[in-house]
């Protein structure tokens, strides 16, 4: 598949480069997402067969102080990409987030549930989803959560660094979700795009997250145990760890639809963690 990928240095993009080295990856210098029309022009000039947006403004807290930039990158740019793909008859897939929900309750969120983002990041991603859906072409949005890998800034790498420096860490224990290996997200995206190319009726909004659901504190314990670190994890409530942007307490995602429509199962994050830890210590 002649695939064009927006993003090069992010976690999912780096895993895509391993799985689909023949794809073309656009870094910021080639397609700046703060310039939506430049992104559309890159698609028109590419001659590709499918487009995947794996780039975003993911600095959740910083987005609170730069809402206009977050909106251009997370909302306007994906919408412009989707319109360009629609005009060319190309399937388009973009990665979104559990932050489009308000985090209430304890039931896993389904694609049909009402959204209610708590901050700028979630609101900008939701606006992007809506722009994509209204573009008129063949599209898919993949919402995911708690992404981790051996690359970039993520919870696993942060915990490993702090766990080597400290005897104990205080970690939030009242936020629930499914950690998701970036490699699994990359594989899911490729599977979806292949199916979309084969069947123009395929597409829509889907959830994809690792299993079993857990808390940040228990995820941290698994990281320490897997890395052989003696750092003790102390449970704290979210109120003890204030941040500029509010985090959803319930990020559980119902992933039945992607299994039904694409045959993609939830990945075992514990197996994914073991693989990432092995890579980081190799």
Catalytic residues: 121
The C-alpha atoms of residue 60 and residue 99 are separated, in whole angstroms, by 10
Pairing of strands 176-177, 214-215: antiparallel
- Show the DSSP H helices in the chain as ranges: 11-19, 36-46, 60-63, 67-71, 77-88, 120-133, 155-165, 182-198, 216-227, 256-262, 269-281
The C-alpha atoms of residue 125 and residue 73 are separated, in whole angstroms, by 9
∠ Cα 83 88 91 (to 5°): 75
Which is nearest to 243 in space by CA: 146, 121, 148, 127?
A: 121
- Helix or strand or coil: residue 169? strand
The C-alpha atoms of residue 24 and residue 52 are separated, in whole angstroms, by 10
Please enumerate in sequence order all residues whose Cβ is within 8 A of that of 57, keeping only pairs 6 or more positions apart, or say none: 33, 63, 69, 70, 73, 74, 121, 124
- Helix or strand or coil: residue 96? strand
- Helix or strand or coil: residue 214? strand
């Amino acid at each position: 598949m002649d695939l064009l990928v927006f993003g090069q240095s992010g976690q999912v993009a780096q895993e895509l480069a391993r799985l689909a080295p023949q794809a073309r990856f656009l870094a910021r210098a080639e397609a700046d997402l703060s310039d939506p029309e430049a992104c559309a022009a890159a698609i028109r000039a590419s001659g590709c067969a499918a487009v995947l947006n794996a780039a975003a403004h993911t600095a959740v807290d910083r987005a609170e102080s730069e809402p206009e930039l977050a909106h251009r990158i997370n909302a306007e740019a994906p919408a412009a990409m989707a319109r360009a793909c629609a005009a060319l008859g190309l399937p388009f897939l973009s990665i979104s987030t559990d932050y489009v929900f308000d985090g209430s309750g304890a039931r896993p969120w389904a694609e049909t549930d009402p959204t209610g983002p708590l901050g700028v990041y979630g609101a900008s991603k939701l606006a992007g989803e809506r722009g994509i859906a209204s573009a008129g072409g063949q599209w898919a949005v993949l919402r995911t959560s708690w992404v981790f890998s051996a690359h970039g800034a993520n919870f696993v790498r942060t915990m490993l660094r702090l766990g080597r420096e400290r005897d104990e860490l205080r970690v939030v224990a009242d936020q629930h979700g499914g950690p998701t290996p970036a490699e699994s997200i990359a594989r899911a995206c490729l599977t979806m795009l292949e199916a979309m190319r084969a069947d123009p009726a395929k597409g829509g909004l889907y959830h994809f997250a690792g299993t079993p659901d857990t808390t940040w504190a228990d995820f941290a314990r698994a990281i320490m145990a897997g890395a052989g670190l003696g750092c003790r994890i102390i449970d704290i409530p979210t109120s003890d760890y204030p941040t500029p942007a509010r985090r959803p307490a319930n990020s559980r995602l119902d992933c039945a639809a992607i299994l039904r429509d694409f045959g993609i199962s939830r990945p075992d994050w514990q197996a994914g963690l073991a693989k990432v830890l092995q890579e980081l210590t190799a």
